[in-house]
Amino acid sequence: MRSLFFIIALLATTSANASTMLLWSCHLLEGHTIEEVKAKNSAWVKAVNELSEYTVQSYVLESIASPDLTAFRYIDVFENPVHWGQVRSKMEDGSLDDIDSQLNESAKCQEASLYQASES
C-alpha cells in the first residue's frame, strides 16, 4: 500500500501536459469475443465518467499478429494521477462492482502497469 501512495505522490509532481495511463494485459475467456470486451469496456468508460469531473478514455488493443490471438490490452487514459486515484477509490468502495464483474465474465486480466505519458 505504501508503494501505491509513493507512486501517486511521484506522479503528481509531473508536468500538467502529461496523462496517466493504466495498461492492462488480458486474455479472452473461452466462448467470448473481442466485440463483447469492447462493448463492456464502453459501458465501463461511461460509468467511470459519471463518477468524476474528469474524463477517462479507454482503448482496447486487439492482437492481429501474435502467437496468442486471445491476448489483448486495455489502455485507460486518465487526465492526471489524482484522477486515477479518484477512480481507484470509487472502485474500492464498490461503485463499479457491477461493471467490473461484467468485464470479468469475458476476460482475465493478469497484469497492470501505471505509466505517466507526455508528448515528446
The residues spanned by each domain of the chain are: 2-117
Cell 500538467 -> residue? 16
**Residues 113, 22: Cα–Cα separation, whole Å:** 6
- pLDDT (mean) for 28-55: 94
Residue 71's identity, in one-letter code, is: A
Query: At 53, is the pLDDT very low, low, confident or very high (cuts 50, 70, 90)?
Result: confident
* Amino acid identity at 5: F
User: How far apart are alpha carbons 7 and 87 in whole angstroms?
Assistant: 15
- How confident is the model at residue 12, as a pLDDT? 45
Tell me 2's DSSP state: H
Residue 5 has pLDDT above 90, yes or no: no
What CATH architecture applies to the domain 2-117?
Answer: 2-Layer Sandwich (3.30)
Q: Cell numbers at residue 1, please?
A: 500500500
77-102: b or e for each residue (b if 16 or more CB lie within 10 Å)?
bbbbbebbbbbeeeeeeebbeebeee
| Amino acid 118: pLDDT | 86
